[in-house]
Amino acid sequence: MRIIVAGWLRYAGDESTCAEIITTGRDHILAAREEKGCLAYTWAVDPIDPGVIQVYEEWESEKDLLQHFADPPYADMRAHLEQWEITGFGVQLYGAGMPEAVYADDGWPRKEIFGVTLEG
């Protein structure tokens, strides 16, 4: 089962704080992307609220994510993020089945998702 990690971190400071955190955290992001089972790993400044970093990760399995948490690069990444004042966060784990395409062959969003069709 694939694992999705998604959520947000809110930081004190001005509009440049989150951009600085991401820019100076580039090596941590790259290290995570090189880990076994990492399919996606990114931090992004929220385009509406620049005091928030949006987090997205995708891992091939629970074991791969647990190994990520146990490896030294994860501790280094946490130490990096904790250099600034975190004022709130909400990060969740999601188990996902096999991925399916959002768009149909014609380039438009699918009319059915996992067997459910919009009525009317």
Domain for residue 117, yes or no? no
In a domain, 107, yes or no: no
pLDDT, tens digit (0-9, with 9 covering 90-100), for 4-47? 999 999 999 998 999 999 999 999 999 999 999 999 999 999 99
Whether 36 is covered by a domain: the verdict is: yes
Whole-number percent of the chain with pLDDT over 70: 99
Domain membership flag for residue 66? yes
Residue 34, in any domain of the structure: yes
Per-residue pLDDT, averaged over 64-90, amounts to 97
Round to whole Å and give the CA distance between 52 and 49: 6
Q: pTM, whole model, 2 decimals?
A: 0.89
Q: Residue 79's domain is classified under what CATH number?
A: 3.30.70.100
Total structural domains in the chain?
1
Give the pLDDT score at 120: 58
What stretch of H or E contains 88?
strand 86-96
Range of 70's domain? 2-99
118 in a structural domain: no
Q: What is the mean pLDDT of the chain?
A: 95
